[in-house]
Structure 1
Amino acid sequence: MKQSTRIQILQKLKDHIKDPTTELVYQTPFELLIAVVLSAQATDVSVNKATKPLFAIANTAEQILALGVDNLKSYIRTIGLYNSKAENIIKTCQILVDKYQGEVPEDFNALIELPGVGRKTANVVLNTAFGWPTIAVDTHIFRVSNRTGFAPGKTVEAVEQKLLKVVPEEYKINCHHWFILHGRYTCIARKPRCGACVIEDLCEFKQKVYPE
């Protein structure tokens, strides 16, 4: 794909998606970190339903540590993989208290050392909570990047590196959210809504799907 086409795609998504932000509900970097950890293989809607009552009584590393793993599980039981997520969150909270005075470090390498935190989660936190021009790649962004021809790659990390290379600086801060929202609502996995797509004319996908 030509770089001029990429810029056209980004501009069209910018014009179309007026409020490019996460659909996870959070107030602090810590709340966002916990929400993103919980969102792995789960919907944002299900995470928000679980975190609303949780954050009402425990929304700091110290408070969640005080809850303990069993009480934490009772709040997140409706979320997939809740047992392992609860264990990781408690371990992460202990590290935050011991090493960072309970605060979320604004540092990629420090974040990915936390249990349950991978590249995607670290990049989401840095981008959304701290305003870094990072691009986290989840299943939606991986699909959109490959399907459209915008930034093809065989692995999540390959797509991430390609996006960081080809997305101009002025678009980097919002690119993650434009792509994830586009993938969640328009460029969906099984039957992409090509007829309602604002970048359909620029997309290189060969098997476009249109309503009958």
Structure 2
Amino acid sequence: MNAAKRAEIYRRLRDANPSPTTELRYATAFELLVAVVLSAQATDVGVNKATARLFPVANTPDAILALGEAGLRDYIKTIGLYQTKAKNVIGLCRQLIELHGGDVPRDREALEALPGVGRKTANVVLNTAFGEHTIAVDTHIFRVANRTGLAPGVNVRKVEDKLLKLTPDEFKRDAHHWLILHGRYVCKARKPECGRCAIVDLCDYRSKTPFDPAPVSD
């Protein structure tokens, strides 16, 4: 895939969604951090239901620590792996208070040192909360990058590095959101909906699904 085609892909995704953002609901960088930690192997819808109950009661490191691990579990028990996640969230709250004055650091190394926070979560927070040009590669983005030919790679880090290298600067701020939403709702894992894809003619995927014919009106 050449640079012109790659730029046109992003241009079309931008035209369709000029101001993309995460589907996780949050009001502060801390709420976003907690929501992303909770979202591992869970849906955004499920996380939003849990945080809609949690955040009105506790949405700061101090307030969540006051709940304690058992108290936090009661709010997030509908989410997969909630016991491990509760332990991690309590740990990251404690670390934020002890090392960062209760604030979410705008630093990759400091973020990745927090319990339950890996590179992908750090990328989401840096991009969405702080506007950094990072691209968090999840299963959706990994699939889209490989399937379309936008930035093929054998693992998520290879894809991330390629996307950062090959994505034009004007699109880097929002590339993560465009690609994840495209993978979630159009370029689906089992059966991509090529018939309604805005970039179908630019995509290198050889096994495109057939276009559904337009309904015939009476």
TM-score category (smaller protein) = over 0.9
Alignment RMSD (CA, Å): 0.7
After the TM superposition, which residues 36-185 of structure 1 pair with which residues of structure 2 at under 5 Å, given as runs? 36-185=36-185
Q: Distance in 2 between matches of 1:123 and 1:6?
A: 22
Q: Within 2, Cα distance between the matches of 1:119 and 1:143?
A: 18
**What is the distance in 1 between the residues matched to 2:52 and 2:167?**
35
Provide the residue aligned with 2:215 in structure 1.
none
| SS of residue paired to 1:208 | coil
Give, in whole Å, the separation in 2 of the partners of 1:175 and 1:210. 27
Separation in structure 2 between the aligned mates of residue 27 and residue 177 of structure 1, nearest angstrom:
18
Distance in 2, matches of 1:152 and 1:181, equals 18
* 1:178 CA displacement: 0.3
Q: Which amino acid aligns with 2:160?
A: E
Structure 2: gaps (5+ residues): 213-218
- Distance (whole Å) between structure 1 residues aligned to residue 6 and residue 211 of structure 2: 26
Cα offset, 1:211, TM superposition: 4.7
- Cα shift at 1:17: 1.6
Partners of 2:172 and 2:18 in 1: CA distance: 15
Amino acid in the other structure paired with 2:156: V
CA–CA separation in structure 2 for the residues paired with 1:11 and 1:18: 10
2:19 & 2:10 partners in 1: Cα distance?
A: 14
Instruction: Name the larger-Rg structure.
Output: 2
- 1:83 and 1:161 map into 2 onto residues whose CA distance is 33
**Secondary structure at 1:56 match in 2:** coil
**Deviation sequence 1:179-207 (CA, Å, 0-9, x none):** 00000100010000000000000000010
Match of 2:19 in 1: 19
Once the two structures are superposed, what CA deviation does each residue of 1:113-137 show, in whole Å capped at 9, x if it has no partner? Answer: 1111011100000000001111111
Structure 1 segments (4+ residues) deviating >6 Å: none
Tell me the distance in 2 between the aligned counterparts of 1:73 and 1:211. 46
Q: Which runs of 5+ in 1 are unaligned?
A: none
For these two proteins, the number of residue pairs brought into alignment is 212
Superimposed CA distance per residue, residues 81-137 of structure 1 (whole angstroms, 9 cap, x where no aligned partner): 001000011011000010011110000010011111011100000000001111111
Q: What displacement does 1:18 show?
A: 3.1
How many Å separate the matches in 2 of 1:68 and 1:8? 49
1:210 Cα deviation (Å)? 2.0
**Other structure's SS at 1:57 match:** coil
